[in-house]
Amino acid sequence: MTKVYYDQDVTVKALEGKKIAVIGYGSQGHAHSQNLRDNGNDVIIGIRAGKSADKAKEDGFEVFSVAEATKQADVVMILIPDEQQAEVYAAEIAPNLEAGNAIAFGHGFNIHFGTITPAADIDVFMVAPKGPGHMVRRQFAKGSAVPALFAVYQDATGNARDLALAWTQGVGATRVGVLETTFKEETETDLFGEQAVLCGGTTHLVQAGFETLVEAGYQPEIAYFEVLHELKLIVDLMYEGGMEKMRYSISNTAEYGDYVSGPRVITPDVKDRMKDVLTDIQTGAFAKRFTDDYKAGFPDFHAMRAKQQGHQIEAVGAELRKMMPFVNEQQ
Ligand code: NDP
Ligand code: MG
Ligand code: MG
C-alpha cells in the first residue's frame, strides 16, 4: 500500500505568513479558499467581475482582478476551467509572479500537456481533492474531509513539497489521508477515468441499455427506471463496500445474471478500445482536440452537447423525476 499522509506528517507549516490567492471561485475555488481561511490562512480571491466575484464578496473575501491578486500573493492556486487557464496565465498571472512564488493547480492538465510553461524560478504543485467542491466544503464543515492527491512539478525554492503538504492540510484532507502522485499520473488517470468509465463509459452504457429496451417495444418509462434510476442504488453499494457488498445485497438472480451477461457486454475488445482511449490521452491527441475546439469557439463541444441533450432518455427522465422530489434532496 502506498504511503498515506496525515496531519502528523505535515511537520513544516509552510503556508504560515504567506499570502494566498485563489484564482476562481467556482466548485473547487470556494471550497479551497473557505477551508484554508477557516484553518487560519490569509486568503484573497482573484477573479473576473461576475457571479462568482459577487459570491466571494458575500462570503467575506477580499476580491481582486486575477492580475492584482497574483501581484499580492506568495502562493497562487489556479482554479478556473482547464481550457481557460493558459490564456489567463499568460495575460494576468505570469507577468505578476516574482521569483520564489508558487503556483498551484487542482488538476495537472495544463502543466502536463505544456499549455502552461512556468518560469524556472517558480514552485509548481498540485492539490486535487477527490470529490466535487461542494463535498470538499461540506465534509470540512462537519469536521471531516475528502481525501486529496498532491504532486510537485517544479521545486525552485526547495519548499514546494512542504507547501503542497501544508495546502492539503489547509483544505482539511490530511484529516482523512492524502496520497502523493505526479502531474503525469494524475492527469492521465483522471482523464481516462472520466472518459472510459465514470462519464463516457457510464452514460453510453446506460443509453445503449435504454435504447435496447425501447427498440424491443418496452415502455420508455420502465426502461428509464431499470437502466438509469436504479444505477445510483448499485453505485452507492459499490462505493460503500466494493463489488462484493453490492453483489451481496442484490438478489441471487441479479448476481447470477451479472456473472453470465456482464462479460457478454463488456467483451475483451472493450478493453482494447479503452487502451486506444488511454493512448490518445497519453500522446496528447485528446488534449489537442479539446484545446483546438476551445480555440475555435467549441463548435464540436456544443454540437455533441446538443445531440446528447436531445436523447429520449432525458425527456423521459425529466417527467419521471417529478414523481420523485426526493432525488434532489441532499443525502
Ligand atoms: P468551475 O467552473 O466550477 O469554476 C470556475 C471559476 O473560474 C468560476 O468562479 C469562474 O467565474 C471563474 N472563471 C472562469 N473564467 C475566468 C476567467 N477568464 N478569469 C477569471 N475567473 C474565471 O471550475 P471547477 O472548480 O470545476 O474547476 C477548477 C479546476 O479544478 C479545474 O482545473 C478542474 O479540473 C479542477 N477540479 C475540479 C473538480 C470538480 O469537482 N469540479 C474536482 C477536482 C479538480 P465566473 O462565475 O465568472 O464564470
Ligand atoms: Mg477530471
Ligand atoms: Mg430490476
Mutational pocket test of ligand 1: of 48, 63, 135, 294, the residue with most ligand atoms within 8 Å of the beta carbon: 48
Residue nearest to atom 14 of ligand 1 (CA): 80
Task: Please work out whether the CB of residue 35 comes within 6 Å of at least one atom of ligand 1.
Answer: no
33 is in an annotated binding site: no
**What is the model's pTM?**
0.95
Q: Quick one: which of 120, 62, 116 has its CA closest to 93?
A: 116
Where does CATH 3.40.50.720 sit in the chain?
Answer: 4-181
ipTM for this model: 0.97
What letter would DSSP give residue 196?
Answer: I
Q: How far is the CA of 124 from the centre of ligand 3 (A)?
A: 49
Ligand nearest to the CA of 136: 1
Question: Which three three-digit cell numbers place residue 272?
Answer: 482494447
Q: Where are the alpha helices (DSSP H) in the chain?
A: 27-38, 51-58, 66-72, 82-88, 109-112, 133-141, 160-170, 183-192, 200-215, 220-224, 231-249, 252-265, 268-283, 285-295, 299-309, 312-321
Task: Please work out whether the CB of residue 241 comes within 6 Å of at least one atom of ligand 1.
Answer: no
- Which ligand 1 atom is at minimum distance from the Cα of 49? 47
**Helices 268-283 and 285-295 meet at what angle, rounded to 10?**
60
264 is in an annotated binding site: no
Task: Please work out whether the CB of residue 81 comes within 6 Å of at least one atom of ligand 1.
Answer: yes
In whole angstroms, give the CA distance from residue 26 to residue 7: 27
Residue nearest to atom 11 of ligand 1 (CA): 52
Give the CA radius of gyration of the chain: 22
Residue linked to cell 417495444: 217
Q: How far is the CA of 196 from the centre of ligand 2 (A)?
A: 12
What letters, b where the CB count within 10 A reaches 16 and e where it falls short, cover 296-316?
Answer: eeeeeeeeeeeeeeeeebeeb
**Beta strand pairing status for 148-154 and 63-64?**
unpaired
- Which ligand 1 atom is at minimum distance from the Cα of 51? 46
Question: Which three three-digit cell numbers place residue 286?
Answer: 485528446
In whole angstroms, give the CA distance from residue 178 to residue 211: 41
CB-based burial label for 204 (10 Å; 0-12, 13-18, 19+): exposed
Task: Please work out whether the CB of residue 132 comes within 6 Å of at least one atom of ligand 1.
Answer: yes
Cα-Cα-Cα-Cα dihedral sign, residues 218, 224, 228, 230: negative
Residue nearest to atom 37 of ligand 1 (CA): 28
193 is in an annotated binding site: no
**Beta strand pairing status for 148-154 and 123-129?**
antiparallel
**Beta strand pairing status for 19-23 and 42-46?**
parallel
In whole angstroms, give the CA distance from residue 317 to residue 224: 7
Task: Please work out whether the CB of residue 21 comes within 6 Å of at least one atom of ligand 1.
Answer: no
Q: Which of 107, 112, 229, 311 is catalytic?
A: 107
In whole angstroms, give the CA distance from residue 70 to residue 110: 18
pLDDT tens over the chain, length 331 residues: 899 999 999 999 999 999 999 999 999 999 999 999 999 999 999 999 999 999 999 999 999 999 999 999 999 999 999 999 999 999 999 999 999 999 999 999 999 999 999 999 999 999 999 999 999 999 999 999 999 999 999 999 999 999 999 999 999 999 999 999 999 999 999 999 999 999 999 999 999 999 999 999 999 999 999 999 999 999 999 999 999 999 999 999 999 999 999 999 999 999 999 999 999 999 999 999 999 999 999 999 999 999 999 999 999 999 999 999 899 886 4
Mutational pocket test of ligand 1: of 47, 78, 83, the residue with most ligand atoms within 8 Å of the beta carbon: 47
Ligand nearest to the CA of 127: 1
Task: Please work out whether the CB of residue 112 comes within 6 Å of at least one atom of ligand 1.
Answer: no
CATH 1.10.357.10 is the classification of domain 4-181: no
- The four Cα atoms 63, 46, 139, 152 give a dihedral, to 10 degrees, of -150
- pLDDT for 330 equals 61
Q: Quick one: which of 20, 15, 27 has its CA closest to 52?
A: 27
- pLDDT for 329 equals 82
* 107 given a catalytic annotation: yes
Q: How far is the CA of 191 from the centre of ligand 2 (A)?
A: 6
